[in-house]
């Protein structure tokens, strides 16, 4: 049996970013004070993150291999099948790493209960040693969280844990033809969101709350996806009959009728697909899941 490798995923703290940008602690403090903030608050969160990372590092068994990767480097990092991924930080960091995995178990460590909700990063740093041991033994339950996949007709794709968005890159109107089941409709809107049960507490919840609730949002462990059209606009050529629904084993089709639209997942606009007139986008449940300890 191959010795497991613990891969610790983290992100640069706000404190580190400020010091990198301003050079000295004094300059960083001056910058924040001018905006009504206190550097000590930022330093406290940084200290909590550092303490959590140290606790996790000490908890990794001596005979395991180990590695560390910062969020900005995830796209170029090579995960292997025997990795145990330990995410130390915000819930969103779990979502950031999910799309790069292929079934590896993920342990979410919350280093700062005062600042992080802990929906996905749910474990205390003190529990890391027991968690890693039990994961290796296979004695811990794992939640399988559905993910959403967006694919274009020219072979591009992106996968997300919370939701994917298709729309205009700015605040202009997105024009497209939307297809679902045997129904089809030409629309002009602020874009389309397709989200999972994990993402149902975020952007999808906002879209669901502001309209007539014809569907129930999927729960965290549901394999259904919810989709919403944002601010559909009726006109002689565009309609508003298809603005929400649930996807189980079916898909949502979007035929682009704008010069340029974009698609991105989990709010990461920098990692986006560029879409052009006549291109078809298909959105459905991904064939992989996040295995969350």
Contacts of 91 (CB under 8 A, 6+ apart): 108, 116, 117, 118, 119, 120, 121
- Residue 267, classified by CB atoms within 10 Å of its CB into exposed (0-12), middle (13-18) or buried (19+), is middle
Q: What is the mean pLDDT of residues 229-233?
A: 94
% of the chain with per-residue pLDDT over 70: 100
**Per-residue model confidence as pLDDT tens digits over 87-121:** 999 999 999 999 999 999 999 999 999 989 999 99
Run of H or E residues at 18: helix 14-22
d(CA 146, CA 143): 10
d(CA 195, CA 227): 6
d(CA 99, CA 106): 12
Contact status, residue 183 vs residue 245, Cβ threshold 8 Å? no
- Residue 129, classified by CB atoms within 10 Å of its CB into exposed (0-12), middle (13-18) or buried (19+), is middle
Q: What is the mean pLDDT of residues 68-73?
A: 94
**Per-residue model confidence as pLDDT tens digits over 11-22:** 999 999 999 999
List residues bridging with 195 in a β-sheet: 163, 226
pLDDT for the residue numbered 1: 58
pLDDT band at 139 (very low <50, low <70, confident <90, very high): confident
Yes or no: domain 146-287 corresponds to CATH 2.102.10.10 = no
Query: For residue 160, is pLDDT > 90?
Result: yes
Query: For residue 52, is pLDDT > 70?
Result: yes
pLDDT band at 270 (very low <50, low <70, confident <90, very high): confident
pLDDT band at 126 (very low <50, low <70, confident <90, very high): very high
Mean pLDDT rounded to a whole number for the chain: 94
Cα angle 87-90-91, degrees, rounded to a multiple of 5: 85
d(CA 88, CA 140): 19
Contacts of 40 (CB under 8 A, 6+ apart): none
Its pTM stands at: 0.89
pLDDT for the residue numbered 268: 86
Q: What is the mean pLDDT of residues 2-17?
A: 93
pLDDT for the residue numbered 91: 93
pLDDT for the residue numbered 271: 86
């Amino acid at each position: 049996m191959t010795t497991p490798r613990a891969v610790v995923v983290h992100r640069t703290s706000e404190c580190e970013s400020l010091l990198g940008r301003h050079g000295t602690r004094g300059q960083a403090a001056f910058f924040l004070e001018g905006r009504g903030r206190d550097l000590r608050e930022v330093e406290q969160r940084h200290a909590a993150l550092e303490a959590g990372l140290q606790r996790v590092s000490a908890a990794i068994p001596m005979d395991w291999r180990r590695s560390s990767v910062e969020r900005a480097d995830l796209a170029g990092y090579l995960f292997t099948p025997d990795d145990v991924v330990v995410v130390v930080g915000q819930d969103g960091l779990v979502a950031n790493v999910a799309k790069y995995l292929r079934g590896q178990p993920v342990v979410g460590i919350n280093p700062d209960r005062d600042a992080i909700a802990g929906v996905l990063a749910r474990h205390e740093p003190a529990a890391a040693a027991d968690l890693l041991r039990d994961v290796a033994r296979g004695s811990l339950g794992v939640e399988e969280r559905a993910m959403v996949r967006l694919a274009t007709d020219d072979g591009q794709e992106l996968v997300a844990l919370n939701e994917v968005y298709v729309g205009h890159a700015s605040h202009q109107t997105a024009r497209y033809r939307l297809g679902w089941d045997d129904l089809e409709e030409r629309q002009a809107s602020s874009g389309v969101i397709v989200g999972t049960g994990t993402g149902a507490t975020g952007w999808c919840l906002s879209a669901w709350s502001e309209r007539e609730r014809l569907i129930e949002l999927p729960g965290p462990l549901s394999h259904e996806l919810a989709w919403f059209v944002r601010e559909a606009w009726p006109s002689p050529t565009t309609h508003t009959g298809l603005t929400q629904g649930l996807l189980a084993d079916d898909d949502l089709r979007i035929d682009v009728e704008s010069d340029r639209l974009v698609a991105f997942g989990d709010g990461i606009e920098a990692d986006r697909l560029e879409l052009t007139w006549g291109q078809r986008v298909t959105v459905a449940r991904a064939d992989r899941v996040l295995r969350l300890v």
